[in-house]
Amino acid sequence: MSLDDRKRVVCQHIDLSWNKGRLALAEQLHSRDFLYKSSFIGHPVGSAGFAQIVQTVRHAMPDLQIMIEECIAEGYKVVTWCTLIGTIQNPALGYPPSDKVLSISAMAFWTLTPCNEIQEICTMFDMESFRAQLGLQPRPLAETALP
């Protein structure tokens, strides 16, 4: 499979899961040992945990759209830079509803198997910008360094 094929799998996964909520279809792209790691959560989760996170975020932000700004592949690794845009209409993950349209940057590092199944996603969100857009105080440096 080519690097473009790997990038297509990743872009399809983002569209199916985050933009459309078609989690059963997105899960078909996962390997059996799939892991999701994120700066939103403190521990890795499998496919079921990933689906729960997506459902929680999509419920909180029903107008959520993810735009892929950049997608780079090398070997079995793919890196994406995305912008998440939406409003928090329902409380979730400790954040209150807001009428502000939020724009959140995220970088994700994807590992694919030789069969182009998604084995791991590690996502880092720009949480300080997110908190600032909500009018929340930045977290102290020592707190942000802890898992």
- pLDDT exceeds 60 at position 142: no
Which residues, other chains included, contact 61 with Cβ-Cβ below 8 Å and sequence gap of 6+?
86, 87, 88, 89, 92
Q: For 27-33, which contacts have Cβ atoms below 8 Å and span 24 or more sequence positions?
A: 27/51, 29/117, 29/118, 30/117, 30/118, 30/119, 31/113, 31/117, 31/118, 31/119, 33/119
Residue 119 CA: distances (Å) to CA of 59, 75, 79, 143: 26, 14, 14, 30
Predicted model pTM: 0.87
Give the residue with greater pLDDT, 113 vs 100. Answer: 113
